[in-house]
């Protein structure tokens, strides 16, 4: 038997007690609001809830400071206290917690709950990071842009509470395992990054070579094709103009502007406005290739059919007849196209006329499908390689979480 198993057998022969944090607490309370403009370069150390999400199990130094003279109704925390972030953006991560192991007296922000107790702080922090503990933290929470927890909800969380000697041994094991996992992950990251970078560079060169070869029909093998303008293929379309007053930072349907095209949206429109405009005006079909006509000229995104709206004139698409040209084939042609842009003053942009006059080689649909299939395979090879490193790191993380949860699962003591 291991030392831990010996200790559990000796000190907990009938099982381990499970208690709520409310039963464990010497005190539990919410911090006081500390605004962003109250953060200073020096002063009293403090923690705002967002900083808890970037801390793993414990921390011994604060990254923020404030002038405590300007903070009303001050709420402090000190060595050993457990901090919970009770505001967040994800149900699965709400009430993230960590232990403070530093020596200074610090201020807690308003969306932070402080738990004072007489247990091993690192043990509690490990126990509160388990899959079972997170299920309890997330229970009853509704998905929305902002998720909240509370002191009563935190107080109801149940954790196993073995004697302190057992807690200390678990902390020793998990500290060592955490350090080893971090070292192995760092080594793995460095090694795989070097290998993957070299391989990815080679694959991308190969991909670009075959893309140019497949889309250059002049003097190529016996393939029938004809040159067509995009105006012959279809009509340049765009969404109905949305006024700034019709958008907001929150809402039902994401509104993509040129700065957020292909990224995360920072503006939204109402479901009613989306339904109205989609029905009455031009709107892309699933699979249509959206093109940036400003900013990074010619960048493309294939519309996935999910509710979204796009800034008029800056984001356009060719409403093409797929009996002539497949959307995916067009997308590959666009990626090779040196767009002829117009300079309206200081900002280059792509006007409808530029798009209509652009020429592409159009072979038979059968040949288009063959080209798309080959290039899709290359694209998948590059993406699979890019995802290799995150997948390896994720596997290490899951292995760590499995052993952590196993160590922190006990036979419950009969009541």
Residue pLDDT, tens place only, 219-278 = 655 778 888 999 999 999 999 999 988 998 888 899 999 889 988 888 999 999 999 999
The whole-number pLDDT of residue 346 equals 46
* Bridge partner list, 319: 235
Banded pLDDT at 409 (limits 50, 70, 90): confident
Lowest-confidence pick of 27-36, 111-120, 130-139, 385-394:
385-394
CA neighbor of 174 nearest in space, from 268, 94, 57, 17: 57
> How distant, in Å, are the alpha carbons of 40, 76, 112, 151 from that of 72?
16, 12, 15, 20
Whether residue 344 has pLDDT greater than 60: no
Q: Mean of the pLDDT values across residues 364-380?
A: 87
Residue predicted with more confidence, 389 or 266: 266
CA neighbor of 337 nearest in space, from 293, 374, 380, 378: 293
What pTM did the predictor assign? 0.56
CA neighbor of 110 nearest in space, from 24, 219, 36: 36
% pLDDT > 70, the chain: 89
Give all domains of the chain, ordered by start, each with its CATH number. Answer: 19-160 (3.90.220.20), 225-363 (3.90.220.20)
Whether residue 88 has pLDDT greater than 80: yes
Banded pLDDT at 192 (limits 50, 70, 90): low
The whole-number pLDDT of residue 375 equals 87
Banded pLDDT at 28 (limits 50, 70, 90): very high
Whether residue 379 has pLDDT greater than 90: no
Residue predicted with more confidence, 183 or 32: 32
For residues 96 and 113, what is the distance between their CA atoms, to the nearest angstrom? 10
């Amino acid at each position: 038997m291991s030392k831990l198993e010996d200790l559990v057998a000796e000190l907990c022969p009938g099982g381990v007690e499970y208690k709520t944090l409310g039963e464990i607490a010497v005190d539990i309370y919410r911090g006081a609001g500390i605004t962003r403009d109250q953060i200073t370069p020096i002063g009293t150390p403090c923690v705002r809830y967002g900083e808890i999400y970037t801390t793993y199990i414990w921390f011994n130094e604060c990254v923020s400071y404030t002038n405590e003279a300007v903070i009303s109704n001050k709420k402090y925390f000190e060595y050993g206290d457990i901090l919970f972030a009770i505001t967040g953006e994800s149900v699965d991560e709400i009430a993230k917690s960590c232990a403070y192991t530093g020596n200074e007296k610090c201020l807690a922000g308003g969306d932070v709950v402080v738990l004072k107790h007489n247990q091993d702080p690192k043990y509690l922090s490990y126990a509160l990071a388990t899959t079972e503990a997170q299920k309890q933290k997330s229970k009853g929470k509704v998905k929305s842009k902002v998720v909240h927890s509370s002191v009563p909800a935190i107080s109801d969380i149940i954790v196993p509470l073995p004697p302190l000697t057992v807690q200390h041994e678990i902390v020793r094991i998990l500290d060592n395992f955490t350090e080893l996992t971090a070292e192995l992950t760092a080594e793995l990251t460095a090694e795989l990054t070097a290998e993957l970078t070299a391989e990815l560079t080679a694959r991308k060169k190969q991909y670009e070579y075959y893309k140019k070869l497949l889309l250059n029909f002049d003097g190529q093998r016996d393939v029938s094709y004809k040159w067509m303008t995009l105006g012959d293929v279809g009509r340049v379309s765009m969404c109905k103009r949305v006024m700034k007053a019709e958008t907001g930072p929150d809402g039902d349907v994401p509104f993509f502007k040129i700065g957020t095209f292909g990224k995360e949206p920072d503006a939204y429109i109402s479901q009613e406005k989306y339904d109205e405009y989609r029905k009455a005006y031009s709107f892309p079909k699933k699979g249509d290739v959206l093109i940036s006509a400003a900013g990074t000229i010619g960048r493309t995104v294939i519309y996935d059919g999910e509710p979204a709206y796009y800034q008029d004139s800056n984001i356009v698409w060719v409403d093409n007849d797929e009996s002539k040209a497949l959307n995916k084939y067009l997308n590959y042609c666009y990626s090779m196209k040196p767009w002829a842009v117009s300079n309206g003053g200081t900002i280059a942009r792509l006007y409808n006329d530029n798009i209509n006059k652009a020429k592409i080689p159009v072979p038979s649909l059968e040949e288009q499908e063959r080209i798309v299939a080959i290039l899709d395979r290359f694209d998948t090879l590059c993406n699979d390689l890019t995802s290799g490193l995150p997948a390896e790191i994720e596997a290490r993380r899951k292995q760590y979480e499995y052993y952590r949860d196993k160590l922190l699962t006990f036979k419950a003591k009969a009541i």
